[in-house]
Amino acid sequence: MERRRFLGLAAATGAAAGAALTAGCGSDAGTQSSALKVVAADYGEPGQGDGSQGYWDALVRRFRHRHPGIAVEVEVHGWKDVDKRVAAMVAAGRPPDIAQIGAYADFAAQRRLYSAGEVLSIPVQADFLPALAEAGEVRRVQYGMPFVASTRLLFYNRTLFVKAGLDPDSPPRTWNQLARAAAKLKAAGVKIPYGLPLGAEEAPAEAMMWMLSGGGAFTDKVGNYTIDAAANIKTFNWLRDSLVGPKLTNPDPGGTDRRELFAAFTRGEVGMLNGHPTLLRETRRRGVKYGTAVPPGAEGPSGATLGVADWVMAFKENGRRQDVGRFLDFVFSEENHYDFADRYDLLPVTTSANDRMRERAGHKPLRRFQQELLSAEFYPVGKVSWAKVSGDIKRGIGKAVAADADPVKVLSALQRRAEAEDYAVRES
């Protein structure tokens, strides 16, 4: 997820090659050429011994027992490397059969992918949450199969709220209430009243959350970029003038990554910030008393919150449609999919696994995130130009809140580049 996991799994350790688990008939059974090749991302935290390779190895062993004629090899890479690894394999003419990475639209536009309907059984495809299935579409055909998801809520430190004379049971519901709460936190000596990560790691997510809370978005309902829309300009003017200017945030929002602020929140140094489910684990482990709420909006609680998903795609280069389909049906079965989401405190993308998680008392803190997932707004990942536009946003949108910045100029420049990228894609 762009987005990545607690303490920056964008910096996760490099490749961890998965051992091939093979079986089958014929002389080539068990060789690399006969095995389904899967490249997946690592969701474990560096140094914690919870890497994803173990999950995939156990999954493949169970699959082998059920389908002894299909060999599978899974190669796991950290988020820093996995997208580049798959792109290099495709460029070399040796794409994997299945990739589990952050974006799919480029490959779909190049007609390299099977559609979801070509590989998944009808019950499995129908089990995806509708909003996520729709987010996986390019020109109304689903090519991206959601793997796991997250939503965002406002996290706040209840202990610091009490210290500042704020009611810990009444988090801010509007922007002005948030600014007033931040000012009281600052007066009480809180190091970072509101954590605003607009550095490269989190810029698209934090920016989109604020845009949504102000009635804007990166695109309109028909998919046209609207980065410099009036609602978005108003939002960034407010951020600059009401939070950053009065020094109610971290000193340099445009140069601050999410992982820094997540770590500071678990140390009790941040009063409020937007966060996703994986922040829960470390916060609880450190004994931080926290609350969550729908992010504040301009006039009331935000009418929409951000949803983020990672994606599975099936390449058709090697012609393994049936074998790929059998494996993916197994991956997305209720038990196996729930097992992965449960392991990393992420949200399942299927109705059956979501229902199972909702029934587990131990996952009660995730229920609000699950509820938000049903109506969340997602990045425009179905736009082929989004990968490059997202990169521009990562590098540039944090400048809009600098003390001497003009949000109109910053957002308009991003809008022009986005329109140019979109035009280039259409003309190619």
The model's pTM is 0.84
Q: How many helices (H) and strands (E) does the chain have?
A: 18, 13
Residue range 384-424, pLDDT digits in tens: 999 899 999 999 999 999 988 999 999 999 999 999 999 99
φ and ψ of 147, to 5 deg: -105, -55
Mean of pLDDT values over 298-322 = 95
Classify each residue of 246-264 as buried b or exposed e, where b means 16 or more C-beta atoms within 10 Å of its C-beta: eebbbeebbebbbbbbbbb
Poorest-confidence range of 8-17, 270-279, 335-344, 407-416? 8-17
Q: For the domain with range 9-150+308-363, which CATH number is right: 3.90.1150.50, 1.20.1090.10, 3.30.1150.10, 3.40.190.10?
A: 3.40.190.10
Domain with CATH 3.40.190.10 in the chain: 9-150+308-363, 153-304+385-427
Mean of pLDDT values over 364-388 = 91
Which residues face 273 on adjacent strands?
155, 195
DSSP β-ladder status, 270-275 and 306-314: unpaired
SS3 assignment, position 60: helix
Residue range 149-171, pLDDT digits in tens: 999 999 999 999 999 999 999 99
What local confidence, expressed as pLDDT, does residue 48 receive? 63
Kindly indicate whether the domain formed by 153-304+385-427 is annotated with CATH number 3.30.420.10: no
